[in-house]
Amino acid sequence: MVLSKQQVIAIGAKHDLTPMQAHVLFLIDPDNPQPMSHLSSLLSCDASNITGLIDGLEHKELIYRTEKPGDRRVKIIALLPKGVTVRQQFLDAFAEACEAHVFSTFTAQEKQQFAHLIAKSIASCPNRIK
């Protein structure tokens, strides 16, 4: 399941982001800064389009770009703390949407059975947090 277009638009609007800016922000891994060319290939678009999107995200102080060590021609994109927070909001919305979808397919009895099975499986884990 992926975030719906409406969810991307709604979350993006909270942060004054266009749908494409929101999509790009969602694609940037906070633990693994990537070259702009990687984002371009993920979105199957021209590098000049990515430049405009990155400019907007940089202006909003969500990301920064830097040169790749050893090759100034390659621009690396990384999230700033504010960008990490906004991206996490996308992930939280995705998790909520998935949960709502999964539970909407269950009857009340199935939800109780599911909760019981999850609790039982967690209880049997040898290294569970108590």
Residue spans of the domains in the chain: they are 5-123
pLDDT at 129 exceeding the cut of 60 = no
Which of these ranges, 26-30, 64-68, 84-88, 120-124, has the smallest mean pLDDT? 120-124
pLDDT in tens, 72-82: 899 999 999 99
pLDDT in tens, 46-62: 888 899 999 999 999 99
> What is the per-residue pLDDT for 98?
75
Dihedrals phi, psi of 102, to nearest 5 degrees = -60, -50
Residues 6+ apart with CB under 8 A from 78: 28, 30, 33, 63, 64, 65, 66
66 — pLDDT class (breaks 50, 70, 90)? very high
For the chain, the average pLDDT equals 85
Q: List beta partners, residue 64.
A: 78
| 105 vs 107: CA distance, rounded Å | 7
Say if domain 5-123 classifies as CATH 3.40.1350.10: no
pLDDT at 127 exceeding the cut of 80 = no
